[in-house]
Amino acid sequence: MSEIPLELCREILSLLPAEPLLRFRCVCKSWRETIDDPIFIRLHLDRQLLNARDSSNGVGRLILRGDLDNRFYSLPIDSVNSDTVKPTLLKHTPTHEWTNSPLSSCNGVILISYSKRNYLLWNPLTRDLHNLPPVTTMSKKTRGLYHSVSGLGYDSASNDFKVVKIAQIFDPRDRSLKSETMLYSLKSGSWRKINDFPYRISRLSGAVFLEGALHWISEYRLLPLPFDVYGYEKPLAKHLSALGGCLILCCCSRVERLDVWSMEDYGLENSWVKLFSVGVSDFVGLVVTLRPIAYSKRRGEVLLQHDKKEFVWFDLETKLVKKKIRIHRQPTMFSSLFSVASLVRLNSR
């Protein structure tokens, strides 16, 4: 192995999955130094993220959080093809009691909240845990309806993970909105107050990190929505996601139909394309509970989670549900997100 040039060795290793690379750190000192090098970690992650845009490549996995047992499970994306799948219980996971807030993922790192003031960052592969200091926002005692949202992003310019928390109080009597935005930097290890977000955000909106920005559903249109969304049918519910490197908007116009839009060219209104629609005649159950999770470009299929109990593959050509995938035994009810496996370290930045 000493005859292989270092640059060639680095190139070969960067093409491998993250899991065996952790084991290969024990092969020799030079491999360990290469795999632990921040430049190599970034190179490997960029290639993983690119390949993960098409789930047919087998890159990435689903992270499931059980609603009843508060435990975390892992399911390789290339295993979600059988009628029944068995997730692996993730050991060495955080032991807090979680809130019902949506999970947020970025570059293989997951943001978890276990109270209104407490958060942690977790890399399931390296088992790194980083507890954030408690964050203090405006008091709930202020008159009005209180809610907060949070999300995890990555600042490539400073090589820094950042957490954004937006707390809002809306008073329906005079329709006034008070908002406070806090930003946490992993490098600095502290929270700071930044410019307030002046628009009301849906409390059920999970953050989506794409194109270097965090996205939430708001009552205002800072990013243009598809023209049809403004039409005669006001959506009962909206949900953001990301598939194949594109921003995805799910609109449930009526209880019996879900429309899924894809922004093919980020930021341009005329680039919105209706990816598919699902109706009760195509699917048994409430379509409002469907959530896009992953995209298989090669097979022309989208993986959807349904009703916190199962996954389904939806064929984009036939516009029909192709296969339902049920979870074997545990967890019986769950939330899920798609995440790549990365070598990112949280406690050595």
Residue 257 maps to a domain:
yes
Task: Give the domain CATH number at 121.
Answer: 2.120.10.80
Residue 37 maps to a domain:
no
Residue 32 maps to a domain:
no
Comparing CA positions, the residue from 122, 220, 213 lying closest to residue 168 is: 220
pLDDT of res. 99: 64
pLDDT of res. 52: 92
Q: How large is the angle between the packed helices 6-14 and 29-36, nearest 10 degrees?
A: 60
Comparing CA positions, the residue from 79, 106, 74 lying closest to residue 93 is: 74
- Write the pLDDT tens digit of every residue in 26-49: 888 888 999 999 999 999 999 999
pLDDT of res. 83: 86
pLDDT of res. 232: 42
Residue 89, domain extent: 47-339
Rounded to 5, what percent of the chain is helix, strand, coil? Answer: 15, 40, 45
pLDDT of res. 318: 87
- Write the pLDDT tens digit of every residue in 191-228: 999 988 888 887 766 788 998 888 888 765 566 667 66
Counting as low any pLDDT under 70, the low residues of the chain are 1-2, 95-102, 139-142, 204-205, 219-225, 227-237, 253-255, 281-285, 348-349
DSSP, res 40:
H
Residue 42 maps to a domain:
no
CA dist., res. 191 & res. 135, Å (int): 7
Single-letter code of the amino acid located at 56: S
Q: Tell me the H-state helices in the chain.
A: 6-14, 18-24, 29-36, 38-51
Altogether, the residues listed in the chain come to a count of 349
Residue 171 maps to a domain:
yes
Looking at the structure of the chain, the number of domains it has is 1
Residue 94 maps to a domain:
yes
Strand order across the 237-243 sheet = 237-243, 246-254, 257-263, 272-279
Residue 120 maps to a domain:
yes
Residue 243 maps to a domain:
yes
